């Protein structure tokens, strides 16, 4: 117990957004192993983040990013209160998301925002592709489903690997900030424009 320093408790709080008591308890439970305590608190933080989804998010910011005058991004990110909307952590999140969108060119915010007809058309396309490649009929559904998942994971913002940390998705990065800020955060919509890009 005496080996656990105030600095470690503070550091754990900063990284996870948990209270002093929880941070201290995690370090005690892991016998002062900071990495194990951090992992445990992150799991708890993610659980808290999921629960925040029940709260309405109507405040927030519209963030912008301009890359060398050639790519421009507008992104609306909502939170629950103006207080959090003015928080540096939240404003940095919005900037990071705008930069990620500029770099990674997502087409949709989330799985739910993919139109059903688009999803079904891709499923039919990949099912036919698997057939022409001679895959067994009893495996077609699983194979096509996997191809659809991979296809949209590359195009859905919250499913993409986050450019600043490819080991986590953008969705995980948002949840991490929900845990730290203690409010629900929703990426509402975005628009990405590239110079000379032809749109339908």
pLDDT per position as a tens digit, 47-79: 455 555 555 777 899 999 999 999 999 999 999
Domain locations along the chain = 6-52, 59-109+156-194, 115-153
Residue 83 to residue 74: CA distance in whole angstroms: 22
Residue 160 to residue 110: CA distance in whole angstroms: 10
Top CATH class of 59-109+156-194 equals alpha beta
pLDDT per position as a tens digit, 85-112: 999 999 999 999 999 999 999 999 998 9
User: Residues 160, 111: contact at Cβ < 8 Å?
Assistant: no
pLDDT attached to residue 16: 65
Locate 17 and state its tokens.
């957004």
**Which DSSP string do the residues of 83-127 spell out, in sequence order?**
HHHTSHHHHHHHHHHHHHHHHH--SBSSGGGS-HHHHHHHHHHHH
Residue 6 has pLDDT above 50, yes or no: yes
Rg of the Cα trace of the chain? 21
User: Residues 183, 51: contact at Cβ < 8 Å?
Assistant: no
User: Residues 18, 44: contact at Cβ < 8 Å?
Assistant: yes
CA geometry: angle 16, 20, 22, nearest 5 deg: 70
Q: Do domains 6-52 and 59-109+156-194 have the same CATH topology?
A: no
Residue 159 to residue 148: CA distance in whole angstroms: 13
In whole numbers, what is the pLDDT of the chain averaged over residues? 86
pLDDT attached to residue 1: 45
pLDDT per position as a tens digit, 15-56: 666 667 777 888 888 888 887 887 776 666 544 555 555 557
pLDDT attached to residue 55: 59
Question: For 6-52, CATH number?
Answer: 1.10.8.10
- Evaluate if pTM is beyond 0.95: no
CB atoms closer than 10 angstroms to residue 128? 12
Residue 15 to residue 177: CA distance in whole angstroms: 10
User: Residues 158, 110: contact at Cβ < 8 Å?
Assistant: yes
pLDDT attached to residue 21: 79
Question: For 115-153, CATH number?
Answer: 1.10.286
Residue 32 to residue 155: CA distance in whole angstroms: 41
Residue 48 to residue 45: CA distance in whole angstroms: 5
pLDDT attached to residue 139: 85
pLDDT per position as a tens digit, 157-185: 999 999 999 999 999 999 999 988 888 89
Residue 25 φ then ψ, to 5°:
-60, -40
pLDDT attached to residue 47: 45
């Amino acid at each position: 117990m005496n080996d656990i320093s105030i600095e470690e408790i503070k550091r754990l709080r900063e990284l996870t957004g948990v209270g002093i008591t929880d941070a201290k308890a995690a370090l005690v439970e892991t016998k002062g192993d900071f990495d194990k305590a951090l992992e445990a608190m992150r799991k708890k933080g993610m659980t808290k983040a999921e629960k925040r989804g029940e709260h309405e998010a109507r405040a927030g910011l519209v963030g912008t990013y301009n890359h060398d005058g050639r790519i421009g991004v507008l992104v609306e990110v909502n939170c629950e209160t103006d207080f959090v909307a003015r928080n540096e952590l939240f404003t940095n999140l919005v900037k990071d998301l705008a930069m990620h969108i500029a770099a990674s060119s997502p087409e949709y915010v989330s799985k739910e925002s993919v139109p059903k007809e688009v999803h079904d058309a891709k499923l039919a396309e990949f099912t036919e592709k698997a057939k022409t490649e001679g895959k067994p009929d009893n495996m077609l559904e699983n194979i096509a489903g996997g191809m659809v998942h991979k296809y949209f994971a590359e195009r859905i913002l919250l499913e993409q690997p986050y450019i600043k940390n490819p080991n986590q998705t953008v969705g995980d990065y948002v949840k991490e900030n929900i845990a730290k800020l203690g409010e629900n955060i929703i990426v509402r919509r975005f628009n990405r424009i590239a110079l000379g890009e032809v749109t339908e």
